[in-house]
Chain A
């Protein structure tokens, strides 16, 4: 396997394809990634208007699909395709990150807890992207995101980039990455 750094690219970028392909390495990982993606999308969309979502689901949990559908349209009409696309992209990456977390936590249980610590920054980045996608709404006006640069899309992009970086840094979580420049 070619090391990314030898091609003049950052090492994490070279490992990114393997990281993104990890859910495709077993049926169970694919199912976990799909489930985590769906859950993350629902959570992010519902968090764009938390007051509404809590009321809706408290009255009737069966209205979950109504809430997701309604807020998907509301999000599109508020921030357009770019904002909605960033949320979808984040949900997909969160699905990949979930399979990494399962694999790494198994490794951590077999070896030592320090491996698990490597997962934490990725999840913190995930949380950051979550903020960008909607948790700010819980702290004030639902229109709070509209006051941020590019209607909050810049913040979403930063969160998404952090998640991509941490996924790339992990690479294929079944293997230990060796940075050739540091090891030589």
Chain B
């Protein structure tokens, strides 16, 4: 299992060895793979997306790269992150790698509350995401079309890039003590695959719209994708927090 450098860098100062972990928003299993590589005793890969759940299963449990020893340590959980089936205070390390950009603002508090509920005293939290793109980034225009199509189709925004300080304040509000921030990617490489995939999402979202609107949004997405090709822009960050309990999570330096 190839583990992206972003995931490795986000986890390499966290005590993953022997820990019970929750990957919130499992995607294609990149962070699950990183947690397994780091020696997690158990990884709950939680996603509300059936395709992602099977992708993770395929990759870390059934696939060619899966190792039996590792697949015994992972459980794919198909659930809403606002209400997971995990017990209170049961998780040592919570990760949300590239999750919150697909979470609408209105739902952020419920997910933060749920991740806090399952966290054991002294637990660690890692939140990796993207700062808003600079104004002149073409990818920003593509995401705007993606969001417009999703909003008009009644799906809510497709993507929201929250600044690091905003997600930091959100979790501090739920009792998490900020530990550190790292830059995972600077700039962020948006490859041809990323550009094509996002243009495809915009096209799919626009599909149910009335003809004029649909065609104009699709034409806009196609034009941006064709003109952009690839782009390196923006920053991906990693925030780490500790959760109360044993006092190690207390901020140092600003208390007597």
Are A and B genuine complex partners? no
